[in-house]
Amino acid sequence: MTKSVKIALGALIAAVILCCGALLLPRKSGTVARITHNGVVIHEIDLEKEHTQRYLEIVAGDGTVLNCISVEPGRIRVEHANCPDQVCVNQGWIRDSALPIVCLPNKLMIEIIGGGEAADAITT
């Protein structure tokens, strides 16, 4: 093994260890879901205070429905998306801060943030 092969192999193993470490980090428990569209926060919902299932629609400037978000007590997911890849729909329900739902084509993001006393719904 030459020196550069050793360095490359070391860098690769370091990357794997770093990533595994990042995945094992403690997850923030929180109940407030923040929905961001085009970089603007459009809703902040405390999932603990939800009692029934309800739907939120994300509508583009020209009136097309981009995503339909389903909110339930303690969890949130994307129900429908108008994009072809449907990655955000397949991700299913989220209930902690581990991995936010991101819809790249529609620039939509749903993340669970800490704290339980957010404003019930900020709507712009």
Partner 1 sequence: MPSPHNSPVRRLTRAALLTAIALTIFMAEAQIPPPIPIPGVKLGLANIITVYAMYILGPGDTLMILVSRIFLGSVFSGQMMTLLYSLGGGLCCFAAMLVLRRLLDENHLWLASPLSAVFHNLGQILVAAAVMHTWVVISYLPYLVLSGICSGLFTGLCAQMLIRHLNKI
Binding residues (CB under 8 A) for partner 1: these are 4-5, 7-9, 11-12, 15-16, 18-20, 22-23, 36, 38-39, 83-85, 87-88, 90-92, 98-100, 102-105, 107, 109, 111
Which lies closer to partner 1 via its Cβ, residue 42 or residue 83? 83
Which lies closer to partner 1 via its Cβ, residue 6 or residue 49? 6
Closest CA to 42 of 72, 67, 73, 75: 67
Task: Give me the least distance between CB of 33 and partner 1, in Å please.
Answer: 13
Give yes or no for a contact between 62 and 102, defined as CB atoms under 8 angstroms apart.
no
Which lies closer to partner 1 via its Cβ, residue 25 or residue 117? 25
CA distance 50 to 72: 6
Please, what is the Cα angle at 106 between 86 and 24, to 5 degrees? 65
Task: Give me the least distance between CB of 111 and partner 1, in Å please.
Answer: 6
Which lies closer to partner 1 via its Cβ, residue 18 or residue 54? 18
CA distance 69 to 12: 39
